Amino acid sequence: MIVGCPTYAGKLPNKILPDFQSRLRGNGALAVAVVTYGNRSFDNALAELCAVLEQGGFHPVAGGAFVCRHAMTDRLAGDRPNADDLSEMATFAQAAAERIGLLRDTPAPLTVPGNASAPYYVPKGADGQPVKFLKAKPKTHMDKCTNCGRCALVCPMGSIDPEQVDQVPGVCIKCHACIRICPLDAKYFDDPALLSHKQMLENTFLTPQENRIFL
C-alpha cells in the first residue's frame, strides 16, 4: 500500500486523519508512507503517518517527504516538484521496490524523524508572534466574479456554494485552490492574521528545502 498525504501545520490534516485511522486496515501488509510539504518543514507529519499505518496493521518499509508548492503562496517552492524532484521520487520508488523484493521476514519498524504525538505547529505572524486564522474564509470580488463555479468544483472540502460562489458555508482549510483556479482573480483572503502568517513564510522560508527519504 502506498499512502500519501500533505503536511498541514506540521502534521496530517485533521480533516483526513479520522478517515485514515478508521479505514486503513493492513492485516500485516507492507506500506510506503509519503508526505509533501510546502518548503517550511514536514515536522511530525511523516512520523504521524507511519504511526497511523502501524496502528492500522501495516508494516511501513519506506518513507519520503517531498517538497511542493506551499498552499498559501507561490513564492515558497512555486516551481516544485521540478525535474530533479521527479527524478528523486523515481529513485525512491525504485529503492523501496528493491527493499520490498528482498524482504523475507516481517521488517523492523521504519525509523523516521519527528514525534507522532506532538501538537500541531503554531503559525506565527510577521512579528514572530502566534496568530490564529482558523475561521478565515476566501472572499469574492463580485464585480469580477461571473459565478462560473470553478472554485466550487476544486474546493476539496466542498465548502463553496456552487449556486452562489461568494458563500462559503463549509469548513475552509486555506488550501487556496479556489484562488488559483479563478480565471478572473476574483477570490482572495483579507484576514489580517492569515496575511501576516503568509508574509512571515515569505520572509523566512524562501531557501529551497530538500526531499528526504527513509528506508
Residues of the chain with pLDDT under 50: none
Cell 515569505, located at residue: 202
Q: What H or E segment, with its residue span, contains residue 34?
A: strand 30-37
Cell 525535474, located at residue: 83
The grid coordinates listed for 61 are 518499509
Query: Which pLDDT score, from 0 to 100, does residue 146 have?
Result: 96
Cell 516551481, located at residue: 79
Query: Which pLDDT score, from 0 to 100, does residue 25 have?
Result: 96
Query: Which pLDDT score, from 0 to 100, does residue 207 have?
Result: 97
In terms of DSSP H, where are the helices of the chain? 17-23, 45-55, 83-102, 150-154, 177-181, 192-204
Closest by alpha carbon to 182, among 205, 210, 160? 160
Measured CA distances, 42 to 30, 80, 96, 182 (Å) = 23, 15, 20, 28
The amino acid occupying position 162 is: P
Query: Which pLDDT score, from 0 to 100, does residue 189 have?
Result: 98
- The conformation of residue 110, written as its DSSP 8-state character, comes to P
Query: Which pLDDT score, from 0 to 100, does residue 13 have?
Result: 94
